[in-house]
Chains A and B, each alone.
Chain A
Amino acid sequence: MISKKKRTPQLAVIGGGPAGLGAALAASKAGIDDIVMIERDIELGGILPQCIHDGFGSKVFKEVLTGPQYAQRYIDEIARTNVEVLLNTMVLELASNRTITAVNSAEGMITIEPKAVVLAMGCRERSRHQVFIPGYRPAGVITAGAAQRDINIEGLMPGRKIVILGSGDIGLIMARRFTLEGAQVEGVYEIMDHPGGLPRNIVQCCYDYDIPLLLSHTVTFIHGKKRVEGVTVAHVDADLKAVKDTECFIDCDTLVLSVGLIPENEISKHAGVTLDPVTAGPIVDERMETTVDGIFACGNVVNVFDLVDYVTRTSEVAGRGAAEYVLAGRKREAPVRVLPGRNVKYVVPQFVSDLGRDIDFYFRVEHPERAVTARVLAGTSPVKSKKHKMVHPPEMLTATATAADIAEAAKAEGRQVDSLLVEVVDSGK
Chain B
Amino acid sequence: MGGSVKEAAPLPESAGVVIIGAGISGCSIAREVVKYTDDVVILDKETDVADETTKANNAEVHSGIGEKTGTLKQKLNVRGNRLYDEFVEGLGIELKRQGLLIVITPRTLPTSITRWLPKRVVRYVLERVVPRLIMRNGRKKGIPGQTVLTRQEIFDREPHVTRNAIAGVFDPTYGLVSPYKLAMALAENAIQNGARLFLETEVTGIKVEGGAVVSVVTNRGEIRAPIVVNAAGVFADKVADMAGAGGFEIHPRKGASLLFDRDITADYVHSSVAEFRMFHKGHSKGGGAMPTAEGNLQLGPTAIETGDRYDTSISAEEIEEIFDRFYYLLPDFPRSAIISAFSGIRAPTLDEDFIIEPSARTKGFVNVAGIQSPGLAAAPAIAEMVIGILHGLGVPDTRREDFDPVRPAPPRFTELTDEERDSLIEKDPDFGHIICRCETVTEAEVVNAIHGPIPAKNMDMVKRRTRVGMGRCQGGFCGFRCAEIIARERGIPITEVTKDGAGSWVFADETKHLLAEGDAGEAGQ
Question: Which A residues are within 8 Å of any B CB, using their own CB?
Answer: 1-2, 40, 88, 90, 92, 101, 103-109, 124-125, 127-130, 132, 134-139, 142-143, 145-146, 149-151, 154-160, 181-183, 220-221, 225-227, 242, 253-254, 266, 269
Contacts and interface: CB of A to CB of B under 8 A. Distances in A.
B476 A143 contact: yes
Nearest to B316: A134
B501 interface: yes
Contacts of B437: 40, 90
Max chain A Cβ within 10 angstroms of own Cβ: one of B422, B476, B507:
B476
Contact of A125 (B312, B316, B473): B473
A124 B472 CA distance: 9
Given A150-B507, A157-B509, A227-B499, 16 more contacts: A40-B434, A103-B421, A104-B432, A104-B433, A106-B429, A106-B432, A130-B339, A132-B316, A134-B319, A156-B495, A158-B506, A160-B509, A181-B511, A181-B512, A182-B515, A221-B315
A226 B510 contact: no
A154 B480 contact: yes
Contacts of B339: 127, 129-130
Contacts of A136: 312-313
B501 A226 contact: yes
A158 B511 contact: no
Contacts of A138: 499, 504
Q: 4 tightest CB-CB pairs across the interface, nearest first?
A: A182-B514, A139-B499, A226-B503, A105-B429
B338 interface: yes
A158 B498 CA distance: 12
Contacts of A269: 263
A156 B510 contact: yes
Interface residues of B, number: 61
Contacts of B518: 182
A142 B508 CA distance: 13
B124 interface: no
Interface in B290-312: 310, 312
A63 B430 CA distance: 41
Contacts of B511: 151, 155-157, 181
Nearest to A124: B473
Main SS at interface, chain B: mixed
A133 B256 CA distance: 14
Contacts of B472: 124, 127
B508 A158 contact: yes
B316 to A, nearest CB: 5
B515 A181 contact: yes
A139 B434 contact: no
A157 B432 contact: no
A127 B507 contact: no
B120 interface: no
B342 interface: yes
B505 interface: yes
A254 B499 CA distance: 14
A142 B473 CA distance: 11
A221 B311 CA distance: 13
A356 to B, nearest CB: 38
Contacts of A155: 510-512
A157 B434 contact: no
Interface in B467-501: 472-477, 479-480, 484, 494-495, 498-501
Nearest to A254: B508
B506 A129 contact: no
B171 to A, nearest CB: 31
Given A108-B422, A109-B422, A182-B515, A134 B315 contact: yes
A266 to B, nearest CB: 6
B312 A139 contact: no
Interface string B380-393: 00000000000000
B507 A156 contact: yes
B341 A1 contact: no
Contacts of B513: 157
A39 to B, nearest CB: 12
Contacts of A2: 418-419, 422
A20 to B, nearest CB: 16
Max chain A Cβ within 10 angstroms of own Cβ: one of B440, B498, B506:
B506
B188 to A, nearest CB: 26
Nearest to B336: A130
11 contacts: A88-B433, A92-B440, A132-B316, A150-B507, A156-B494, A157-B510, A158-B508, A159-B508, A181-B511, A226-B502, A269-B263
Contact of A183 (B314, B434, B498, B514): B514
Contact of B503 (A101, A227, A242): A227
Contact of B312 (A137, A149, A151, A157): A137
B433 A226 contact: no
Contacts of A158: 506-508
B294 to A, nearest CB: 15
A150 B340 contact: no
B517 interface: yes
A137 B504 CA distance: 10
A127 B260 CA distance: 13
Contacts of B419: 2
Contact of A1 (B313, B422, B440, B501): B422
Interface in B420-461: 421-422, 425-426, 429-434, 437, 440
Given A129-B341, A139-B498, A181-B514, A108 B432 contact: yes
Given A103-B425, A105-B425, A157-B513, A145 B476 contact: yes
A125 B484 CA distance: 21
Given A2-B422, A220-B316, A125 B476 contact: yes
A311 B516 CA distance: 39
Nearest to B423: A108
Interface in B312-352: 312-316, 318-319, 336, 338-342
Contacts of A104: 432-433
A159 B341 CA distance: 24
Contact of A129 (B315, B474, B479): B474
Nearest to B433: A105
B377 to A, nearest CB: 26
Nearest to A220: B316
A88 B510 CA distance: 26
Contact of B434 (A90, A101, A156, A221): A90
A137 B426 CA distance: 39
Contacts of A105: 425, 429-433
Max chain B Cβ within 10 angstroms of own Cβ: one of A2, A109, A125, A242:
A109
A98 to B, nearest CB: 18
Contacts of B432: 103-108
A158 B336 CA distance: 28
A106 B474 CA distance: 28
Contacts of A225: 310, 312
Given A106-B432, A127-B473, A135-B313, A101 B418 contact: yes
A182 B516 CA distance: 8
Contacts of A92: 440
B292 to A, nearest CB: 16
A134 to B, nearest CB: 5
Contacts of A103: 421, 425, 432, 434
A146 B340 CA distance: 18
Contacts of A1: 422
Contacts of B477: 124, 146
B508 A253 contact: yes
A117 to B, nearest CB: 18
B316 A157 contact: no
A130 to B, nearest CB: 6
Contacts of B516: 182
B508 A134 contact: no
Max chain A Cβ within 10 angstroms of own Cβ: one of B314, B338, B515:
B314
Nearest to A41: B477
Nearest to B434: A90
B284 to A, nearest CB: 20
